[in-house]
């Protein structure tokens, strides 16, 4: 009787442990999958403008129609032409999606 | 009685294990299970790609409508599946570059004619951007069709290995498809992409110099840097085009009678996983990701006159290469510019140098 109880106990215990391990594994995989599927923030697009004389440069939000080499006004320091120097995204900053 | 129940349990357990072992080793059941597992995984991913394709199509229709194109759906449908290129015979390699170049030129001309016919009244840069957007949509459609072909083939032949290969490649393919889809925004807005690192460097090198026509969609600038004459070549911006850098360099070298001290090519290069974006590396050869004609054009021009050929590359991932330029890539361009200036300063004063900014010049004048 004691032997039978022991045998059944070990078997039952094994089943319980296996079930718990399987449950833990399934939950872990589901959680990992969920964290992978997280939507990343849209990076912010900025336009860097600069003066021909290299005495002024500033970053501003990208506006439709900007391209590198575009004349965008006069330099606030020397009055020479101000051009778009670069357009790039800044990572890890949540911003608006560029207009299509 | 109790002892009998215990041995019965163990007997049943052993029998079950034996049956399971027999089924796993001597039947097709495991393969059927694998087939079911992988096919359901691939099916889910194909639905995901279908959604991306539909989204791309929707955004493209909206973009073309904003450009006042009356039949955007027709423009997209007529472009898809067409304009493929059959590579020339390669078991006879004689003049293969000439034949390939001819076929590429014919394809380009056909696409330009199509764009002019269906998108009249647009500025050149807008038309070029729209054409590249159509090419992206077409590429996603082709990838989707090929994947579905292999998926159906795997199911038809119960080929679980084919489905397993598909399933294993799916995350990577989806990553690429998603980055192509995101790349549309850059071409819709006409902003510089990572691949435009080369043309951007040329823009910084030449300042406000006036461009001169050299080859189709390709211009050159003549500037003096530290007492050395620099001929800088890039595609004509700000529309999305890569121009014909090979043909341009061949023409330019002939124009200068071969008296060129150095040819420097600058291009974006795919980084290894352990490398950082914006890393700059220097080497020898033609830095250009071309299937043949343009690259060989640069190599031939350099070899004919014994001109040293340098390569400066800016490292980035595929996603960064086809999407809006990141700040890391931009900083890489500035570093590469310093390298190019250093190479130029090593040439004797009065010497002539050709600098070629290879890549798509979208968003860069």
Complex confidence, ipTM = 0.87
Same domain, B171 and B216: no
Q: How far is A67 from chain B (nearest CA, A)?
A: 5
**Residue pairs spanning A and B at CB distance below 8 A:** 89
Task: Name the domain boundary from B164, B189, B214.
Answer: B189
Q: Is there a contact between B191 and A87 if contact means CB atoms under 8 Å apart?
A: yes
Q: Is B332 on the interface with A (CB under 8 A)?
A: no
Same domain, B236 and B284: yes
Same domain, B205 and B166: no
- Whole domain around residue B137: which residue ranges? 29-189
pLDDT at position A40: 61
> Chain B residue with minimal CA distance to A44?
B326
Same domain, B89 and B184: yes
Query: Which residue has better confidence, A3 or B239?
Result: B239
Asked, for residue B23, whether it belongs to a domain, the answer is no
pLDDT at position B5: 64
Same domain, B352 and B248: yes
pLDDT band at B165 (very low <50, low <70, confident <90, very high): very high
Instruction: Name every chain B residue with its beta carbon within 8 A of the beta carbon of A14.
Output: none
Statement: residue A97 has pLDDT above 70: no
Q: Is there a contact between B189 and A99 if contact means CB atoms under 8 Å apart?
A: yes
Instruction: Summarize pLDDT for B224-249 with one digit per residue, the tens.
Output: 999 999 999 999 989 999 999 999 99
pLDDT band at B82 (very low <50, low <70, confident <90, very high): confident
Considering only CB atoms, B327 lies closest to which of A67, A89, A100, namely A89
Instruction: Name every chain B residue with its beta carbon within 8 A of the beta carbon of A4.
Output: 2-3, 5-6
Query: Which residue has better confidence, B291 or B279?
Result: B279
Instruction: Summarize pLDDT for B302-345 with one digit per residue, the tens.
Output: 999 999 999 999 999 999 999 999 999 999 999 999 999 999 99
Task: For residue B301, give the CATH number of its domain.
Answer: 3.40.50.1470
Asked, for residue B163, whether it belongs to a domain, the answer is yes
Give the separation between CA B110 and CA B100, rounded to whole angstroms: 15
Q: What is the dihedral of CA A30, A31, A37, A38, to 10 degrees?
A: 160
Question: What tokens were used for A47?
Answer: 């336009």
Residues 6 or more apart whose CB falls under 8 angstroms from that of B123 comprise B239
pLDDT mean across residues, chain B:
93
What is the mean predicted confidence (pLDDT) over B114-122? 90
Q: What is the dihedral of CA B201, B207, B211, B215, to 10 degrees?
A: -10
Q: How far is A85 from chain B (nearest CA, A)?
A: 8
Considering only CB atoms, B363 lies closest to which of A1, A67, A99, namely A67
pLDDT band at A96 (very low <50, low <70, confident <90, very high): very low
Same domain, B227 and B169: no
Task: Name the domain boundary from B171, B189, B207.
Answer: B189
pLDDT band at A36 (very low <50, low <70, confident <90, very high): low
pLDDT at position A4: 53
pLDDT at position A95: 46
Instruction: Summarize pLDDT for B42-80 with one digit per residue, the tens.
Output: 999 999 999 999 999 999 999 999 998 888 999 999 998
> Chain A residue with minimal CA distance to B4?
A4
Asked, for residue B216, whether it belongs to a domain, the answer is yes
Asked, for residue B345, whether it belongs to a domain, the answer is yes
Considering only CB atoms, B188 lies closest to which of A1, A43, A100, namely A100
Instruction: Summarize pLDDT for B285-312 with one digit per residue, the tens.
Output: 999 988 889 999 999 999 999 999 999 9
What is the mean predicted confidence (pLDDT) over B18-44? 91
SS3 percent helix, strand, coil of chain A, rounded to 5, is 35, 35, 30
Whether the upstream peptide bond of residue B56 has omega within 30° of 0, thus cis, is no
Q: What is the dihedral of CA B254, B255, B259, B261, to 10 degrees?
A: -90
pLDDT band at A37 (very low <50, low <70, confident <90, very high): low
- Best of B132, B189, B194, B201 to disrupt the A interface by mutation (most A CBs within 10 Å)? B189
Same domain, B254 and B115: no
Instruction: Name every chain B residue with its beta carbon within 8 A of the beta carbon of A53.
Output: none
Same domain, B203 and B284: yes
Distances in Å between the Cα of B235 and the Cα atoms of B211, B214, B239, B255 are 10, 10, 9, 19
> Chain B residue with minimal CA distance to A8?
B6
Distances in Å between the Cα of A99 and the Cα atoms of A65, A96, B77, B271 are 10, 8, 24, 29
Statement: residue A26 has pLDDT above 60: yes
pLDDT band at B11 (very low <50, low <70, confident <90, very high): confident
Same domain, B106 and B221: no
Q: Is there a contact between B325 and A4 if contact means CB atoms under 8 Å apart?
A: no
Q: B 124-163 residues with CB below 8 A of A? A: none
- Best of B60, B125, B191 to disrupt the A interface by mutation (most A CBs within 10 Å)? B191
Same domain, B211 and B181: no
pLDDT band at B9 (very low <50, low <70, confident <90, very high): confident
Give the separation between CA A68 and CA A47, rounded to whole angstroms: 9
Q: Which helix (H) or strand (E) holds A93?
A: strand A81-94
Q: Is there a contact between A87 and B325 if contact means CB atoms under 8 Å apart?
A: yes
* H helices present in B157-255, as ranges: 160-189, 197-206, 245-255
Q: Is there a contact between B327 and A88 if contact means CB atoms under 8 Å apart?
A: yes
Same domain, B81 and B157: yes
| Residue carrying structure tokens 């900083």 | B331
The domain tally of chain B equals 2
Asked, for residue B37, whether it belongs to a domain, the answer is yes
Task: Name the domain boundary from B189, B222, B245.
Answer: B189
pLDDT band at A30 (very low <50, low <70, confident <90, very high): confident
Question: What tokens were used for B75?
Answer: 């423009």
pLDDT at position B313: 97
Asked, for residue B363, whether it belongs to a domain, the answer is no
Axis-axis angle for helices B29-66, B72-79 (nearest 10)? 130
Instruction: Summarize pLDDT for A41-89 with one digit per residue, the tens.
Output: 678 999 999 998 888 899 999 999 999 999 998 988 888 889 999 999 9
pLDDT at position A76: 87
Asked, for residue B19, whether it belongs to a domain, the answer is no
| B239 within 8 A of B129, measured Cβ to Cβ | yes
Same domain, B180 and B201: no
Query: What is the DSSP-derived secondary structure letter of residue B85?
Result: -
Asked, for residue B365, whether it belongs to a domain, the answer is no
């Amino acid at each position: 009787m004691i032997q039978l109880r022991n045998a059944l106990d070990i078997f039952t215990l094994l089943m319980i442990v296996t079930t718990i391990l399987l449950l833990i594994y399934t939950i872990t995989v589901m959680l990992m999958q969920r964290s992978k599927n997280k939507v990343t923030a849209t990076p912010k697009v900025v336009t860097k403008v600069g003066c021909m004389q290299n005495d002024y440069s500033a970053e501003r939000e990208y506006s439709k129609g900007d391209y590198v080499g575009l004349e965008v006004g006069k330099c606030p320091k020397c009055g020479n032409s101000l051009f778009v120097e670069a357009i790039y995204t800044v990572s890890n900053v949540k911003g608006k999606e560029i207009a299509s | 009685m109790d002892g009998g129940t215990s041995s019965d349990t163990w007997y049943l357990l052993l029998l079950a294990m034996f049956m399971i072992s027999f089924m796993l080793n001597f039947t097709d059941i495991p393969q059927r299970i694998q087939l079911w597992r992988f096919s359901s995984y691939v099916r889910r991913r194909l639905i995901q790609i279908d959604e991306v394709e539909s989204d791309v199509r929707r955004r493209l229709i909206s973009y073309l409508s904003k450009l006042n194109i009356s039949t955007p759906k027709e423009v997209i449908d007529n472009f898809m599946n067409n304009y493929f290129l059959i590579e020339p015979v390669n078991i006879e390699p004689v003049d293969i570059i000439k034949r390939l170049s001819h076929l590429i030129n014919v394809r380009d001309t056909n696409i330009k004619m199509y764009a002019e016919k269906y998108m009249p009244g647009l500025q050149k840069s807008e038309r070029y951007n729209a054409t590249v957007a159509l090419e992206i949509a077409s590429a996603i459609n082709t990838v989707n069709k090929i994947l579905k072909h292999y998926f159906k083939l795997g199911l038809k032949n119960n080929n679980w290995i084919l489905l397993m290969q598909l399933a294993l490649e799916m995350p990577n393919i989806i990553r690429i498809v998603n980055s192509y889809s995101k790349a549309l925004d850059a071409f819709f807005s006409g902003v510089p992409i990572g691949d435009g690192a080369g043309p951007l460097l040329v823009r910084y090198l030449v300042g406000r110099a006036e461009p001169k026509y050299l080859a189709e969609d390709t211009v050159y600038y003549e500037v003096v840097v530290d007492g050395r004459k620099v001929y800088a070549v890039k595609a004509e911006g700000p529309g999305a085009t890569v121009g014909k850098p090979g043909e341009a360099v061949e023409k330019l070298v002939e124009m200068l009678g071969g008296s060129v001290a150095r040819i420097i090519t600058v291009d974006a290069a795919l980084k290894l996983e352990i490398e950082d974006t914006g890393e700059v590396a220097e080497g020898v050869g033609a830095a250009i990701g071309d299937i043949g004609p343009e690259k060989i054009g640069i190599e031939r021009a350099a070899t004919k006159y014994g001109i040293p050929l340098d390569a400066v590359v800016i490292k980035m991932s595929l996603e960064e290469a086809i999407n809006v330029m990141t700040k890391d890539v931009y900083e890489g361009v500035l570093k590469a510019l310093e390298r190019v200036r250093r190479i130029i300063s090593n040439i004797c004063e009065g010497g002539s140098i050709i600098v070629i900014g290879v890549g798509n010049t979208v968003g860069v004048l």
